[in-house]
Amino acid sequence: MPQQVTVTEHLLLHQKRIPGATGQFTRLFNEIVLSAKIINREVNKAGLVDVLGFTGKTNVQGEEVKKLDEYANRILIHRLARSGVLCAMASEENADIIEVPHGLPLGDYVCIFDPLDGSSNIDVNVNIGTIFSIFKRVSPEDSHLLSTDVLQAGLHQVAAGYVLYGTSTMLVFTTGDGVHGFTLDPGVGEFLLSHPNIRIPEQGRVYSVNEGYSSYWDEPTKEILEYFKSTDNNRRKPYSGRYIGSLVADFHRNLIYGGIFMYPADNRDPKKPEGKLRLTCEANPMAFIVEQAGGMAVDGRNRILELEVENLHQRTPLFIGSREDVLKVREIYREHDAKG
């Protein structure tokens, strides 16, 4: 009988190893876990009740908001605000920093999240996910919150993770001590440890990118795609193309099998020259996870986790996955830069 370790037990074991741990982090994480279970319940019955479709609103990204997007956002904000351990939140769905409502207890943590990533797939029953990134505030505890408490480089994350709603619902996260995967047992209502110490293969066999935009890419990106599709690469055969259009699902597959996910800069939209993905609630958390699993994440030239965060919704190109594959991306960009 495999040892059934719940995510809470796992966190408590982790907490015991941290001198001076107050239990605040475990409290915060338990609220994320509860939010995931509530969102999972709605996602799983989406086809049966009136939560499919659009709300008729657009978010700060200019994207149409789905009913489940709005629902997931509401659940996370409500639960996290009452955790008593946050001083601020930020959501992909909200233009500004979300302060903890007056009168509720404050804490030292900041949580940034994408409540339901991949929501364009909701109505066709394709995997979607929740992504979260956790920091400790940098300003003194009894001072006013500063934007620098929220706009921190990814290197300073204390935890990051995602929930993947699919054939089974998984919670995958790191607290800087490796990457661990938990699968929801709906019969028990608990996330149970199913993938301890996940390591991404050094070299992958899959590339994930939306090739429909190839005519908008820069030259290095075009050369990168030719490399992965050619027989003249490290594998001596083409990588398989796999792209579902949901970052959490594409990332998770490549994390387990090995591979590279790419959302390059493109010149389709002058308002988004850096591509579509957001640094704070998508690239940074995924980069922390992949590095903890032995992989890499760059914007083409620079390590994602070292990028300066200037605004909440800034975007970045993202090349993330198996170390050898991402190193190749950086090598091609450097060769182009050297040619000038």
- Contact flag: residue 316 with ligand P6P (CB under 6 A): no
The residue within the footprint of ligand P6P, chosen from 31, 69, 108, 117 (CB under 6 A), is: 117
Using the minimum distance from each CB to ligand P6P, give the nearer residue, 250 or 325: 250
- Contact flag: residue 233 with ligand P6P (CB under 6 A): no
The residue within the footprint of ligand P6P, chosen from 205, 252, 276, 330 (CB under 6 A), is: 276
Report which of 280, 285, 288, 320 is spatially closest to residue 92, judged by C-alpha positions.
280
Shortest separation between residue 23's beta carbon and ligand P6P, angstroms: 33
Q: CB-based contacts of 39: which residues, under 8 Å, 6+ apart?
A: 68, 71, 72, 75, 76, 115, 116, 130, 163, 165
- Contact flag: residue 317 with ligand P6P (CB under 6 A): no
- Contact flag: residue 66 with ligand P6P (CB under 6 A): no
- Contact flag: residue 120 with ligand P6P (CB under 6 A): yes
- Contact flag: residue 61 with ligand P6P (CB under 6 A): no
Using the minimum distance from each CB to ligand P6P, give the nearer residue, 46 or 247: 247
Q: CB-based contacts of 322: which residues, under 8 Å, 6+ apart?
A: 200, 201, 202, 203, 204, 254, 258, 259, 260, 295, 296
- Contact flag: residue 72 with ligand P6P (CB under 6 A): no
Shortest separation between residue 286's beta carbon and ligand P6P, angstroms: 10
Report which of 297, 38, 305 is spatially closest to residue 158, judged by C-alpha positions.
305
Q: Are 272 and 318 in contact (CB under 8 A)?
A: no
What residues from 191 to 220 belong to the interface with ligand P6P (CB under 6 A)? 210
- Contact flag: residue 69 with ligand P6P (CB under 6 A): no
- Contact flag: residue 91 with ligand P6P (CB under 6 A): no
- Contact flag: residue 22 with ligand P6P (CB under 6 A): no
Q: Are 193 and 5 in contact (CB under 8 A)?
A: yes
- Contact flag: residue 252 with ligand P6P (CB under 6 A): no
Distance of CA 22 to the CA centre of its chain: 26
The residue within the footprint of ligand P6P, chosen from 247, 297, 320, 329 (CB under 6 A), is: 247
Binding segment (CB under 6 A) for ligand P6P, from list 18-26, 114-122, 156-164, 232-240: 114-122
Q: Order of strands across the sheet with 109-117?
A: 98-99, 86-91, 109-117, 128-136, 159-165, 170-174, 179-185, 190-195
CA distances from 159 to 144, 162, 320, 332, 333 (A): 23, 11, 18, 31, 30
C-alpha to C-alpha distance for 325 and 257, rounded to whole angstroms: 13
Shortest separation between residue 268's beta carbon and ligand P6P, angstroms: 9
- Contact flag: residue 178 with ligand P6P (CB under 6 A): no
Shortest separation between residue 117's beta carbon and ligand P6P, angstroms: 5
Using the minimum distance from each CB to ligand P6P, give the nearer residue, 7 or 163: 163
| b/e 112-139 (16+ beta carbons within 10 angstroms → b) | bbbbbbbbebbeeeebbbbbbbbbbbee
Q: Are 205 and 259 in contact (CB under 8 A)?
A: yes
Using the minimum distance from each CB to ligand P6P, give the nearer residue, 137 or 253: 253
C-alpha to C-alpha distance for 335 and 20, rounded to whole angstroms: 48
Using the minimum distance from each CB to ligand P6P, give the nearer residue, 4 or 210: 210
The residue within the footprint of ligand P6P, chosen from 127, 246, 316, 322 (CB under 6 A), is: 246
Q: Which residues bind ligand P6P (CB under 6 A)?
A: 117-118, 120, 210, 245-247, 250, 276
